[in-house]
């Protein structure tokens, strides 16, 4: 043993070699300054494996002393022997206070039950509490989600939407702000009996790659055509609300019992863009959402005191929420020219500030604000039937959260004063620039700087148009109608043959499925023919689809031209814009002061 090897064995009292191990709560036999030995659950028996003959002589003590001094301790580490000094006994384990009496000599006692240490008890107790907390939290989360689901109000989309946004496609969300006065304190703004017209309407387009977005405001006083609107009644029956021509846009909701789906149909009629989903917000939404995030920062270039909207603020920067925020977005007479277009600019500034606040760490890292926002959002917004659960709203939020505010552009439908009115009250679309804006959004063109990757992709598509072009007389093509107006295939065929010299063409009838955009599919050895036909038709490189040829009625290989919903007529160019038109706009990352 270590002590004996150092010549100090006589200085060690064996009784002092029993040591309490604080980790296990048991006494252990420690014969040296080495690591603690294993715990001893009961009395020890020092047995000599070489002293059996001596024990047979009847003297246990003498046998133990004459057994060559070689005693193996059962408490030693595995594979290690601990030798005791000859003639000295290994003392029995000291009984702890309150421990049971040892059994009589020569009689084997029952092994005492090993008690769990305090440390182990603490671990088990803590683990039990944690398990309960996890289960309770999961149950609480489930109940809270169900609570949020119960908050959500939805209306039937009546087929006016695409059926819901997709994660792998561009997203178009229609945001409708009504002038409905329901809610505490809102009747003081007058017109308390309003049915809730489409007072503030924004079509939010989010690009397919989520690198940019465009928020297009639609003036409430814009003269439009409202189409017939199939509407689901409360009893589940269908009613078609007749459309109107040459009326204000805001009457697409509320008037004649029109629902938000009628507004969505009107937007499609106006822009050619079918919303994936729509949301409706009233006065309360502005108040509760701004309060939930702790207010938003806005800026005024001059003092404003508008008795109509109740906005009273000096020039400079302000943090507004609740009633004050509602007054800010409603004010009209005190800014710009005092008309609706000036108010739209103010509302865009407000939404930019709200977007910055929602994206800020101050909001995203605050559980309290996030819970308040979830409560306010689910209570204040009415959504279409394709967006009626917290899971769907969460998925949409995750897609919108990918946006960088510097690439979120706010703009307005280009308009001019209504030429039929002597007193300026309504506006009509600008026939030159408005179609360019609509087409840019349809073709997922960014109104901000385009990413380098998108530039490379656009260059690769444009390259399809470069190269030699076959003579029109060599172009062989079949023309399908894939969503264009009836008769478009025959109209195009006649135009190609009589005016463009593409005599090897034929009408193939209706395509198997409708397409949003016109496409031209061709085999690699038909590239020269494809470039010539694209030039004649005014097709962009994105409309050209390298693939395989088909066989025409004469059994000859031919290209396939499918006229999509974007087809405007024979001879009308179908080249999609690659750059957004130059219109008045702003981005959500910049703070602008209202004038």
Which tokens go with 215?
């928020």
Mean local confidence (pLDDT), 218-230: 96
Of these ranges, 56-60, 175-179, 559-563, the one predicted with the greatest mean pLDDT is 559-563
Residues 96-109 have a mean pLDDT of: 51
- Please write the tens of the pLDDT for every residue from 387-409: 999 889 989 988 988 888 889 99
Tens-digit pLDDT profile for residues 295-304 = 999 999 999 9
Residue 64 confidence (pLDDT) above 50: no
- State residue 363's pLDDT score: 83
Q: Residue 18: what pLDDT? A: 59
| pLDDT score at 450 | 58
pLDDT band at 234, cuts 50/70/90? confident
* pLDDT tens readout for residues 468-480: 999 999 999 999 9
Write down the pLDDT at residue 144. 73
- In this prediction, residue 413 carries a pLDDT of 97
Contact 318, 300 (CB under 8 A): yes
Strand residues in 495-563 grouped as ranges (E):
504-510, 519-522, 544-546, 550-551, 557-563
And the tokens for 427?
């506006």
Q: What is the pLDDT of residue 222?
A: 97
pLDDT at residue 574, rounded to an integer: 78
**DSSP annotation string for 377-414:** HHHHEEEETTS-SHHHHHHHHHHHTT--GGGEEEEE--
pLDDT (mean) for 268-288: 93
Per-residue 3-state assignment (H helix, E strand, C coil) for 168-198: CCCEEEEEEEECCCCCCCHHHHCCCCCCCCE
Look at residue 508 and tell me whether its pLDDT is greater than 90. Answer: yes
Percent of the chain with pLDDT strictly greater than 70: 71
User: Is 60 exceeded by the pLDDT of residue 112?
Assistant: no
pLDDT reported for residue 244: 96
At 282 the pLDDT is: 87
Neighbours of 146 (CB within 10 A): 11
**Three-state secondary structure call for residue 492:** helix
325 against 71, higher pLDDT? 325
pLDDT (tens digit per residue) in 146-203:
888 888 899 999 999 999 999 999 999 999 999 765 555 555 554 555 668 999 999 9
pLDDT value at residue 568: 85
Mean pLDDT of 57-64: 41
* Model-wide pTM > 0.75: no
Residue 367 vs residue 274, higher pLDDT: 274
Question: What is the number of residues in the chain?
Answer: 595
Predicted local distance difference test score (pLDDT) of residue 155: 93
Most confident of 52-61, 315-324, 455-464: 315-324
CA-wise closest residue to 373 among 289, 297, 282: 289
Domain 456-563 belongs to what topology? Alpha-Beta Plaits (3.30.70)
SS3 105: coil
pLDDT of 417 above 90? yes
The pLDDT assigned to 372 comes to: 86
The percent of residues above 90 in pLDDT, for the chain, comes to: 42
pLDDT band of 108, cuts 50, 70, 90: low
Q: Beta-carbon neighbour count of residue 536 at 10 Å?
A: 18
**188 contacts 309 by C-beta, under 8 angstroms:** no
Total Cβ atoms within 10 A of residue 89: 14
pLDDT at site 284: 86
pLDDT of residue 187: 53
Going from N- to C-terminal start, the domains of the chain cover 1-100, 117-151, 156-442, 456-563
pLDDT of residue 379 exceeding 70, the answer is yes
Residue 158 CA to its chain's centroid (Å): 25
- Highest mean pLDDT (candidates 1-5, 57-61, 348-352): 348-352
Whether the per-residue pLDDT at 242 is higher than 80: the answer is yes
Q: 586: how many CB neighbours lie within 10 A of its CB?
A: 16
Question: What rounded mean pLDDT belongs to the chain?
Answer: 79
CATH (residue range 156-442): 3.40.630.190
């Amino acid at each position: 043993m270590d002590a004996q090897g150092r010549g100090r064995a006589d200085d060690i009292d064996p009784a002092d070699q029993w040591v309490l191990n604080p980790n296990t709560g048991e006494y252990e036999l420690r014969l040296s300054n080495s690591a603690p030995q294993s715990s001893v659950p009961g009395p020890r028996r020092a047995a000599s494996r070489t002293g059996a003959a001596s024990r047979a002589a009847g003297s246990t003590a003498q046998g133990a002393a004459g057994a060559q001094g070689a005693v193996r301790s059962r408490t030693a580490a595995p594979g290690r022997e601990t030798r005791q000094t000859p003639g000295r006994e290994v003392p029995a384990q000291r009984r702890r206070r309150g421990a049971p009496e040892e059994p009589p000599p020569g009689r084997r006692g029952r092994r005492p039950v090993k008690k769990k240490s305090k440390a182990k008890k603490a671990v088990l107790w803590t683990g039990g509490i944690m398990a309960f907390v996890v289960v309770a939290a999961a149950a609480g989360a489930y109940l809270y989600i169900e609570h949020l689901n119960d908050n959500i109000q939805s209306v039937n989309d009546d087929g006016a939407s695409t059926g819901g946004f997709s994660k792998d496609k561009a997203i178009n969300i229609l945001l409708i702000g009504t002038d409905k006065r329901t809610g505490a304190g809102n009747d003081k703004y007058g017109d308390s009996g309003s049915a809730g017209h489409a007072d503030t309407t924004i079509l939010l387009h989010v690009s397919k790659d989520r690198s940019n977005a465009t928020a297009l405001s639609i003036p409430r006083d814009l003269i439009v055509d409202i189409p017939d609107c199939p509407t689901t009644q409360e009893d589940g029956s269908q009613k078609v609300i007749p459309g109107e021509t040459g009326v204000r846009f805001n009457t697409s909701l509320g008037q004649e019992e029109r629902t938000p789906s009628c507004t969505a149909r009107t937007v499609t009629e106006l822009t050619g863009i079918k919303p994936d989903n729509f949301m409706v917000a009233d006065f309360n939404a502005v108040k509760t959402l701004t309060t939930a995030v702790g207010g938003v920062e806005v800026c005024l270039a001059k003092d404003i005191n508008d008795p109509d909207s109740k906005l009273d603020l000096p020039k400079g920067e302000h943090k507004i929420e609740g009633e004050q925020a509602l007054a800010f977005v409603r004010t009209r007479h005190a800014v710009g020219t005092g008309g609706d277009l000036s108010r739209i600019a103010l509302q865009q500034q407000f939404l930019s500030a709200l977007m910055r606040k929602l994206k800020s760490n101050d909001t995203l890292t605050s559980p309290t604000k996030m819970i308040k926002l979830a409560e306010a959002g689910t209570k204040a917004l009415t959504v279409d039937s394709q967006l009626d659960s917290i899971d769907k709203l969460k998925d949409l939020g995750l897609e919108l959260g990918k946006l960088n505010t510097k690439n979120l552009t706010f703009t307005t439908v280009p308009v001019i004063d209504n030429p039929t009115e002597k007193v300026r009250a309504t506006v009509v679309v600008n026939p030159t620039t408005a179609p360019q804006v609509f087409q840019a959004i349809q073709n997922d063109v960014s109104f901000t700087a385009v990413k380098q990757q998108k530039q490379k992709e656009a260059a690769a598509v444009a390259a399809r148009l470069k190269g030699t072009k076959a003579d029109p007389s060599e172009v062989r093509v079949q023309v399908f109608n894939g969503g264009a107006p009836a008769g478009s295939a025959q109209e195009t065929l006649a135009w190609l043959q009589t005016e463009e010299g593409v005599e090897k063409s034929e009408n193939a009838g209706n395509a198997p499925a409708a397409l949003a955009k016109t496409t031209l599919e061709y085999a690699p050895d038909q590239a020269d023919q494809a470039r010539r036909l694209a030039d004649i038709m005014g097709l962009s490189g994105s409309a050209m689809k390298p693939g395989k040829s088909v066989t025409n009625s004469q059994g000859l290989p031919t290209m396939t031209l499918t006229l999509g919903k974007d087809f405007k007529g024979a001879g009308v160019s179908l080249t999609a814009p690659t750059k957004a038109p130059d219109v008045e706009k702003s981005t959500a990352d910049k703070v602008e002061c209202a004038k």
